[in-house]
Amino acid sequence: MSGRHALGLLRQLSFTVGLLALALPALEAKGAKPEFGPNVLIFDPSMPRQAIQKQIDAIYAVQEHNEFSSQRSALLFLPGSYSVNLPVGFYTEVMGLGASPDATKITGNMHADANHEHNNATTTFWRAAEGLSIEPASGTMQRWPYSHTVR
């Protein structure tokens, strides 16, 4: 995949996120539950922590070493507080859907590991997190190695 193609996909995803951020509060107010397909999970703070963690772990089990696959996943968190461990694998987007990052708070560990051969961080691209705040369970920031950035 070329850098130009990847940037184009990132722009499309950003546009989609913007639409979701506008649409979800209105749908929630009407009591409607949107369906974006099996690869998009929407979490609500009223859901049991164990149920949320089970779904996160299932996505990570698929995406942890899934470099160059066609599988994509999005984990969307409605505004509120969540106490979960949030590993982020390949082709996984994690998004808080509040009006500001402080509206969606993750208390726990959020990380993208460079656990390939020799801790090779040059393969940690194609994963993202935005629109949420993190309070690490250990009190210190978790690992988020990266090989490419967009400015």
The answer to whether 127 touches 112, Cβ cutoff 8 Å, is yes
pTM, to two decimals:
0.72
Rounded CA gap, 11 and 128, in Å? 13
CB atoms within 10 A of CB 4: 8
pLDDT single digits (tens) 76-109:
999 999 999 999 888 899 999 999 999 999 999 8
Helix (H) or strand (E) holding 107: strand 104-107
C-alpha to C-alpha distance for 66 and 12, rounded to whole angstroms: 22
